[in-house]
Structures are given as C-alpha cells and as structure tokens.
C-alpha cells in the first residue's frame, strides 16, 4: 500500500487496474516489517499466504471476473480473532503455541469481500488494558510519538493504520478498546451496537460487553468495512437478526436538524483542558452547520467505572477458566499433580493484569459477595442503560471526549492500575448500555498528539453517528494529517 492512502482509494486503484493487488500487499508487508522494530504493531505477518491471495485477485481481474468491494486491499486483524492460518495468541504466553482450527466470522466476511489479511496485531493480553503495555510480547508505540503508548487494547491495529501500513484493521471493544487507541493514534474507530457484528471466533473477555469493529483513517472507510462484517450469524446466540442499512448511502445525511446531546458528566474534573477545548470546538462547528445542541443528563454515568470493573472482571474470570493447560495452549512442563498442572500453567502463562482481573472477578462472584458486588453492578448497569434510552428520546447523537487526556508516556501508568482504568472513563458506558459509538480525530494538543471526538448513538443507530462523523470530516482536515513517521519512511 502506498502509505497514507485510504481504503477507498486503495480499493479503487486495484479495481481500475492502476495498481496490482500483489504490489499493494507487498508494500504493506514490507512497511510492516520495516516499522516493526519501532512500533511493535504486529505479532505476526503471513507474507506467503497474503501474496498468494493477492495473485488470485490479480488473476481474476485479468480474466475480467467480478471482484469484491475490498478486493486486494491489505488489512490487519487484532490477534484475539481466530484464524485457521497462523497463530492466535491474544498477546499472551498461555496461547503462544495455539493455532485455531477455524476462522472468526468477520475473517470469513473480509476474505469473501476480497480483502487480503497481512498479519495479526499486538494487543493488551486478552484485550485487558488501555495501553497495549500488557502484551506478553512488548508494548506497541504510538506513531505520532514513539515514547508514548498507542492506547489499548487494540493498540497494534490503530498504530498499523496510523502508520500507513494498512488502510484498515479490525479491533475489539469491551470498554473502549477500539475508541481509546483510535483517539490516541488519530484514526477512526467504530464500536458497533452489541449484537450487530458476530462475536463467533473472537476470544472472549467480557461476553456481554465485547464487540468487533473497524479501524480506518476515514469514516467512509469505516462504513465500508462495517457494511462487510455486520449482519446476523446463527453461530453467535447474541447476534441480532435485523437488516443492515446501506450505510455508505446514509453518509450524505445533512448536519442541519440533527439533535446533538451534550452531557456535563463528560466534562467534569480530570478532563485535560486542551482535550476539552478541541472537543467543544468540534461541537461548535456542528452547531454552526445547523445541528441543534441539546443539554442532557446521564446521572448514573459516574458509577460506570466501578460497575464495569465488576461485570467485566467477573465475565473474564469465567471465560478464562478454560485456559488450564489441558485443552490447548501452554502447559507447564513438569507438574507434580493435576492441581499443580492447573496452578503452575496459569501462574506461568498469564500476565499480571490478567491475574489481577481474574482474582477481582472470582472474588465478586464468590459466595457471600455475589449479591453485594456483582448483582448490584448488574442493577447499576440497567440504570445506565435507562439513562441513555431516556437521552435518546430527545437527541439523535451524544458528543463527548473519548479520553480525558492524549496519549501518555510508555510506563507512566503501568504501576498504577486505577489511573490506567480511568483512561476508559468516557468509553465504558456505551459497552454497558450495548449502544454504538465512534471516535474521530478532532484536533491536536500542544505536543502534536491527536485528540478524539466521540459520537455515541442508540442501539443499532450506526447510521446517525456515521453520517454526522462523515459530515464533520468533510468540513475538517484533522483526519488527513499523518505522523512524521510516514513522511520519513
């Protein structure tokens, strides 16, 4: 891929014959390998398979056979999405030797559309983190400033797009894991509504919270990827059977008349002044273009962090019980007995943050504490969901910051779990409520670090947030700016 080209531009050049899929994919792989020592965005690449798939696209074009909408476009996958080719590690030592026997649903969707998967990207171990520093294979660094984090847990995917390695990647979002790194890296990250995209083949962290979504450099590209991966899948019991609208056509919806909600809960103490200024400037622009700005109140959002870190850790404790050294993945080499097999395998295989969350979740689910913690958190979750439902009776979209700060330095918060958890303070509510949200670039701070604007919509309201985000991008150039790393390589 010519670095910096969008997905739409790349697809069009291959469709027209201006570029070959083989050359495009080769450039992406070479760029990934060249930048790997600096960014650590990838955990694996598969040049042989990718180039073979690209050659198939070129052959089909030469025979004038129909091509899919993503034919020949190189894409990357977060390494918690199962693939029948290559390893699926989840950024963990416990899965380092694991090879899935099947593809995730979204992988099949991408390949059916002609996309070429060039590699699997780095992430916080089992998607548990906000900085990609929890990966067992080292942190991903931010293309805008290599001393800073890329965000997490989909940091590798966002860094790969921001660095111009691939025009699109997939991530997963349990509490902000697409939107936070998208904000830190200056790219677009969409968290779809719960049930809109099949989770089949996604290694589970929090099953009632996880969603898979696209990471791109433009909203138009995000809509195109989303159109390909969204829809009902009977293999996922939470997948909703409802039609997916023609989202690329919905992007032309005008700003005028759109009701944009502003909640002061998103602008309280802890929000960096430069972030607040950039986000409010973006809201002012929408108002000048005819959007109706409506004050709203989300009274239970202040309990979101506590609620999330009870529910998510409880679900993680349950989901990660399967990693026991018996079924698959890492096994301790010399166990004394079966109890030692379980304990040593998990002790050696899991990192510190994963262990912390398993212990928190197990405690919350234990006898005598279930009602006091987990059950109470579920009740608070219902109240948060009702707050959003009430708000969306009077507004179409809610605008807010994505994160309280721009990207922080590598190591700055790694020894302070609470400070790290607070990075997700503005994103987790959308996961608790099961609604959709998107992060788009809206400015830079005084250190030239990207700032993200979050647009949140109701359940299955992707049309509203994508159209407003696209109209914002038509009127600004924040998303067109590229880090110096692109220009210098």
> In terms of C-beta density within 10 A (0-12 exposed, 13-18 middle, 19 or more buried), how is residue 218 classed?
buried
How far, in whole angstroms, is CA 49 from its chain's centroid?
Answer: 25
Sign of CA dihedral 230, 402, 399, 482: negative
Beta-carbon contacts of residue 84 (< 8 Å; ≥ 6 apart) = 100, 101, 102, 103
CA distance 468 to 455: 8
- Residue 48 has which token pair? 């042989």
Active-site position among 8, 100, 177, 198: 177
Catalytic, out of 135, 153, 154, 157? 153
Dist. CA 191–CA 215, nearest whole Å: 9
What 3-state DSSP class applies to 214? strand
| Burial bucket for residue 60 (CB in 10 Å: 0-12, 13-18, 19+) | middle
Phi–psi pair at 263, nearest 5 degrees: -110, 125
Q: For residue 154, which of 232, 215, 107 has the smallest C-alpha distance?
A: 215
Q: How many CB atoms sit inside 10 A of residue 207's CB?
A: 15
Q: Which residues pair with 293 in a beta bridge?
A: 260
Rounded distance, CA 171 to CA 222, Å?
A: 12
DSSP 156-175: HHHHHHHTTS-SEEEEEESS
- Which DSSP letter does residue 204 get? P
Catalytic residue among 78, 120, 191, 413: 78
**Cis peptide bond N-terminal to 20, omega within 30:** no
385 is catalytic: no
Active site residue 53: no
DSSP class per residue in 320-357: GGG-SSSSSS---SS-SSHHHHHHHHHHHHS-HHHHHH
Indicate if 16 belongs to the active site: no
Give dist(CA 464, CA 397) in Å, integer.
7
Question: What is the three-class DSSP state of 44?
Answer: strand
Tokens 């025979």 found at: 63
Pairwise CA distance, residues 194 & 202, whole Å: 14
DSSP letter for 374, please.
I
Instruction: Show which residues are catalytic.
Output: 78, 153, 177
């Amino acid at each position: 891929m010519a670095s910096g080209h969008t997905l739409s531009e790349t697809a069009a050049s291959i469709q027209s014959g201006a570029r070959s899929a083989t050359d495009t994919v080769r450039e992406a792989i070479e760029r990934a390998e060249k930048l790997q020592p600096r960014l650590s965005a990838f955990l694996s690449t598969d040049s042989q398979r990718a180039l073979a798939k690209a050659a198939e696209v070129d052959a089909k074009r030469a025979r004038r056979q129909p091509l899919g909408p993503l034919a020949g476009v190189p894409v990357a996958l977060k390494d918690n999405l199962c693939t029948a080719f290559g390893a699926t590690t989840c950024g963990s030592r416990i899965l380092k030797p694991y090879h899935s026997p099947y593809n995730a649903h979204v992988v099949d969707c991408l390949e059916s559309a002609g996309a070429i998967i060039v590699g699997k990207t780095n992430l916080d171990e089992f998607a548990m983190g906000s900085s990609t520093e929890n990966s067992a294979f080292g942190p991903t660094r931010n293309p805008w400033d290599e001393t800073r984090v890329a965000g997490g847990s989909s940091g590798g995917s966002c860094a790969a797009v921001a660095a111009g390695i691939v025009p699109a990647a997939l991530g997963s979002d349990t509490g902000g894991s697409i939107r936070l790194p998208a904000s830190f890296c200056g790219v677009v990250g969409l968290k779809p509504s719960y049930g809109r995209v099949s989770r089949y083949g996604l290694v589970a962290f929090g099953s009632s919270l996880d969603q898979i979504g696209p990471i791109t450099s433009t909203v138009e590209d995000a809509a195109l990827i989303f159109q390909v991966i969204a829809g009902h899948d009977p293999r996922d019991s939470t997948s909703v059977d409802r039609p997916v609208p023609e989202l690329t056509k919905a992007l032309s919806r005008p700003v005028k008349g759109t009701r944009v909600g502003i909640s002061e809960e998103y602008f309280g103490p802890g929000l960096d002044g430069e972030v607040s200024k950039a986000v409010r400037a973006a809201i002012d622009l929408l108002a000048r273009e005819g959007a109706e700005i409506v004050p709203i109140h989300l009274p239970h959002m202040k309990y979101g962090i506590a609620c999330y870190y009870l529910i998510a850790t409880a679900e993680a404790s349950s989901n990660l019980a399967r990693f026991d050294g018996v079924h698959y993945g890492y096994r301790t080499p010399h166990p004394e007995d079966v109890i030692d097999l379980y304990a040593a395998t998990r002790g050696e295989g899991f990192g510190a943050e994963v262990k912390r969350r398993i212990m928190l979740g197990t405690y919350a689910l234990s006898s005598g504490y279930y009602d006091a913690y987990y059950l109470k958190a579920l009740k608070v979750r219902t109240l948060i969901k009702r707050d959003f439902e009430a708000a969306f009776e009077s507004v179409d979209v809610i605008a807010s910051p994505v994160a309280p700060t721009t990207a922080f330095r590598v190591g700055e918060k790694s020894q302070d779990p609470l400070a790290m958890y607070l990075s997700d303070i503005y994103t987790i509510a959308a996961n608790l409520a099961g609604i959709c949200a998107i992060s788009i670039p809206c400015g830079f701070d005084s250190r030239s670090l990207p700032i993200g604007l979050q647009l949140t919509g109701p359940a299955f309201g992707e049309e509203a947030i994508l159209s407003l985000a696209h109209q914002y991008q038509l009127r600004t150039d924040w998303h067109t700016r590229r880090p110096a790393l692109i220009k210098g390589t």
